[in-house]
Amino acid sequence: MSTYLAELLGTMILVLLGDGVVANVVLKQTKGNNSGWIVITAGWGFAVAVAVYCTNAISGAHLNPAVTLGLATIGKFDWALVPGYMAAQVAGGFLGGVLVWLAYLPHWAVTESKGDKLAVFSTGPAIRHSMSNLICEAIGTAMLVLGLLAILTPANLVPNSGFDKGFAPALVGMLVGAIGLSLGGPTGYAINPARDLGPRLAHFVLPIPGKGSSDWGYAWIPVVGPIIGGIVGALVYKALW
């Protein structure tokens, strides 16, 4: 149970800090309103690094069903644990969304845009084109999983240095920041089904003033795209290493 709890708490931290920076940028009358895309991508990179530091020693800090499925596909994770990990990750994403809602409680009513309110919780396309959006999410997640595995591969570690536990989480955060800056423009780079689905569910059930639709018609793309990409990224890694 400790590993499942770590995945839940780690994903909650990831979403709290990641969606929190989006809220700070897009909601009205915040200190960070309109501070821009660079702030969002930096905030998400830091969020990932902190969440990985908090849980890596307990659960391996997957915090992402695409990572869990990718690792299981290439034999680096037990398939029997996959359902529990994925359920914990989605639940953590939901709780993280609830905490962001609470942290920014007065700002929902003064923010008129329904789209901005939804953007705090979940991703959406800059240009809505299902196949292109799906491909973008798959490419970004493939790069995430390939990069993650490469960072942790034994050939890239200094023997007996503790590098993988000490500095690798920061590199994972840097990787997520790079993906956001380079590939985040078309879809907002969910690259994580739990990061999108969990908070989207929170948006759906929470009493947010004037919140509008949760855009369930798009919601399958940041789930299916990352799953495809995560498996592809893991297979590419296996072929190389």
Q: Determine the CATH number of domain 2-240.
A: 1.20.1080.10
For residue 155, what are the contacts with CB-CB under 8 A and spacing of at least 6?
A: 241
pTM for this predicted structure: 0.96
- Compute the distance between CA of residue 110 and CA of residue 190 in angstroms, rounded to an integer: 26
User: Residue 180 — φ and ψ, nearest 5°?
Assistant: -60, -45
Report DSSP state, residue 24.
H
Q: Note the pLDDT of residue 154.
A: 79
- Give the tokens for residue 112: 């008129």
- Give the tokens for residue 114: 């329904």
- Compute the distance between CA of residue 25 and CA of residue 36 in angstroms, rounded to an integer: 7
CB 202 within 8 A of CB 121: yes
- Compute the distance between CA of residue 189 and CA of residue 155 in angstroms, rounded to an integer: 29
Per-residue pLDDT of the chain (241 residues; tens, 9 = 90+): 899 999 999 999 999 999 999 999 999 999 999 999 999 999 999 999 999 999 999 999 999 999 999 999 999 999 999 999 999 999 999 999 999 999 999 999 999 999 999 999 999 999 999 999 999 999 999 999 999 999 988 777 776 665 555 788 999 999 999 999 999 999 999 999 999 999 999 999 999 999 999 999 999 999 999 999 999 999 999 999 8
Spell out the alpha helix ranges (H) of 79-129.
82-103, 107-110, 114-121
Place of tokens 């879809």: 187
- Compute the distance between CA of residue 182 and CA of residue 10 in angstroms, rounded to an integer: 25
Sign of dihedral through CA atoms 90, 208, 137, 148?
negative
- Give the tokens for residue 133: 């959006």
CB 173 within 8 A of CB 52: yes
